[in-house]
Structure formats: C-alpha cells, structure tokens
C-alpha cells in the first residue's frame, strides 16, 4: 500500500515536467545566457569576446543608465500615486448605494486597461503632436493659445504624458481590485459606524482604509515590478526615440536600444541585470516596510 501511493506520487514529476522543460529552455537558459553575455563584447557577427567586468564598470559610470532609471522611477511615481489614490476614492464611491449606473462607470473606467498599450501611445502622440495635433487645435479653437505649443519638445510635459497614459490605463484596474476588497468588508460594520454618528470620511479613514491595507500593499509591490519595465507607451509615444532631452527614455528602452539598435549585446545584457538588481532592491525595501508597519501596529 505504501509503495503504491509513493509510485502514484511520483506521477507528479510527470505532471510538472513539461512546465519545467519549457521553463529551462525559454526562461532560465536565456537568463543564464544573458548573464554570460554581460561579461562579453558581442556585436552579433563575431564570436562573443570575454571582457570580464568591463560592462558592469561601464554601467556603474554610465550617466545615461542612471538617467533612464531616474526617468523610469519618475514616470512610475507620478503615475502610481494618483492611480492608487484616485482609484481608491472611486472604489469607495462606486461602492455606495446611491450611485446610479455603477456597472457602466466600472466598465468605462476599466476599459483602457485592456487596450493595447502601443495603440494608446500612438493615439496620444497624434493628439499631442505639434503642428497638427488635435489638442493644440482644440486650445486654438477656444482661443486659449494663438500658436500651437510644441508639447513634444517639453521634457517634463512629455514625461508627465507617459505617466498620464499609465494612469489612464491602470486606475480602473486598481479600482476593480479595491472594489473586490471592499466587497470583503461587511456592510453592516460600515453602516453600524454611520448610525453611531461617524461621518463618511471618518468611516473611510478609521475602518475602510485599515482593512484595505493588505490590498494596497499588494498593489504597490506588483506595480513596482511592472513599473520598472515601462516600455510600450513611451516607445510608441516618441516613435522609439525617448526624446525630448532623453526625458522619456526608460531603462528597458535603453536596454532595447543598446542591444537591438546599437548591437552591443554584451552591454545590453549588463543593463538588464543592473535593472534587475534595482527591482530586487525596491521589492525588498517595500517588503520590509510592509513588515515593519504590521509589526508596529501589533505593538
């Protein structure tokens, strides 16, 4: 009997084997190979030549690597803070009984999330283009400006625009997740508090918010990993250039340009690992912050 179950249990290896084979070939091998390449100089035509730590030394002193990291972080923070707050407010509002047309609002707010990011990037690029963009035409039609504003030449504006696209795409998504979390909080509890005379704002801050904390932290952590990999939106918004003044050049765009348009595969791989280390650091930071907070509260 014992040997029989053991035999059956070993079937498990067969069940997980296909996944692991595919993962080794298409997941792990590429990462290890990139790691190997990050110690070489390779243009794709010759054989990779070993250069030791040179790529990493270059990376450390590469002004542009740090600049793209800054850009990525700036874009992420400017989009994620309003994303997580506005969506929370919306979730609470749409959870209220008096609001009409809840499901329509939910659908409309969520919709941009499933639209192809590349399409959104190009669409926004067209709308904000300089001399034929509809946004400028709109402002000129209203008489707010006389000459078209060269939006695409303003670094802060364009970086903000990337953040806006990300916000537009993700606030509805966050809202849906908050609503799912809110549905886990008993209505009776909230209504009891209101009957006791607590204002809605008070109820929100002293009951709803603490109960939603795990969901908020979950969203922060997952958005770090995604946020550090921003590529599609700035790429199509600027037609791949990351301009003006390299302000919309994200780290992954820099990685892509280095490896696949300047054909410095070795250095491109080093950028990938540099970025990975940054993501790991940020993830650890947010995890420890999460733990510290919960510990403090327990105390």
Binding flag, residue 44, another protein (CB under 8 A): yes
| Stretch of 70-78, 201-209, 220-228, 289-297 lying at the interface with another protein (CB under 8 A) | 220-228
Site for another protein in 54-73 (CB under 8 A): 58, 62-64
| Stretch of 73-81, 175-183, 201-209, 289-297 lying at the interface with another protein (CB under 8 A) | 175-183
CA 140 from chain centre, in angstroms, equals: 34
User: Which residues in 88-226 belong to E strands, given as ranges?
Assistant: none
Binding flag, residue 161, another protein (CB under 8 A): no
Binding flag, residue 76, another protein (CB under 8 A): no
Query: Most distant CA pair in the chain: distance in Å?
Result: 87
Site for another protein in 228-247 (CB under 8 A): 228-229, 231-232, 235-236, 239-240, 243-245
Query: Closer to another protein at the Cβ: 96 or 188?
Result: 96
Rounded CA separation 151/234 (Å): 14
Tokens representing residue 193 in the block: 């508090």
Binding flag, residue 177, another protein (CB under 8 A): yes
Answer yes or no: are the C-beta atoms of 159 and 248 closer than 8 Å: yes
* Segment (H or E) for 112: none
Binding flag, residue 106, another protein (CB under 8 A): yes
Rounded CA separation 216/87 (Å): 11
| Stretch of 74-82, 190-198, 268-276, 291-299 lying at the interface with another protein (CB under 8 A) | 268-276
Site for another protein in 7-26 (CB under 8 A): 8-16, 18-20, 22-23, 25-26
Which are the contacts of 233, defined by CB distance < 8 A and separation ≥ 6? 117, 120, 121, 162, 165, 166, 169
Provide the minimum distance between the beta carbon of 143 and another protein in the complex, in angstroms, as a whole number: 12
- Quick note: the x/- pattern for another protein over 186-205, rule CB under 8 A, is --------------------
Rounded CA separation 219/245 (Å): 31
CA 77 from chain centre, in angstroms, equals: 10
Interface residue with another protein among 2, 47, 132, 299 (CB under 8 A) is: 132
Calculated CA dihedral for residues 99, 105, 110, 114, nearest 10 degrees: 160
Provide the minimum distance between the beta carbon of 118 and another protein in the complex, in angstroms, as a whole number: 4
């Amino acid at each position: 009997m014992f040997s029989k179950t053991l035999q059956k249990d070993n079937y498990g290896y067969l069940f997980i084997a296909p996944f692991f084979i595919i993962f080794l070939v298409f997941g792990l091998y590429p990462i290890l190979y990139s790691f190997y390449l990050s110690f070489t100089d390779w243009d794709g035509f010759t054989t990779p030549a070993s250069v030791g730590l040179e790529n990493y030394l270059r990376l450390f002193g590469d002004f542009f690597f740090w600049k793209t990291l800054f850009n990525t972080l700036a874009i992420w923070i400017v989009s994620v803070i309003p994303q997580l707050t506005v969506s929370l407010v919306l979730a609470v509002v749409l959870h209220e009984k008096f609001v009409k047309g809840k499901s329509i609002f939910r659908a409309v707010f969520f919709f941009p999330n499933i639209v192809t990011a590349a399409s959104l990037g190009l669409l926004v690029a067209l709308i904000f283009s300089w001399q034929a963009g509809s946004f400028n035409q709109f402002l000129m039609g209203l008489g707010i400006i006389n000459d078209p504003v060269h939006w695409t030449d303003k670094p802060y504006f364009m970086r903000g625009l990337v953040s806006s696209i990300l916000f537009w795409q993700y606030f509805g998504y966050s809202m849906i997740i908050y609503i799912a979390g809110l549905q886990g909080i008993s209505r009776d509890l909230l209504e009891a508090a209101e009957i006791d005379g607590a204002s809605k704002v008070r109820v929100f801050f002293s009951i709803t918010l603490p109960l939603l904390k795990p969901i908020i932290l979950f969203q922060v952590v997952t958005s770090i990993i995604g946020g550090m990999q921003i590529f599609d939106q700035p790429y199509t918004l600027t037609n791949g250039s990351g301009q003006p003044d390299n302000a919309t050049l994200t780290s992954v765009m820099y990685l892509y340009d280095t490896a696949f348009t300047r054909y410095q595969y070795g250095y491109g791989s080093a950028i990938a690992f540099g970025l990975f280390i940054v993501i790991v650091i940020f993830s650890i930071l947010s995890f420890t912050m999460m733990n510290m907070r919960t510990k403090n509260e327990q105390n």
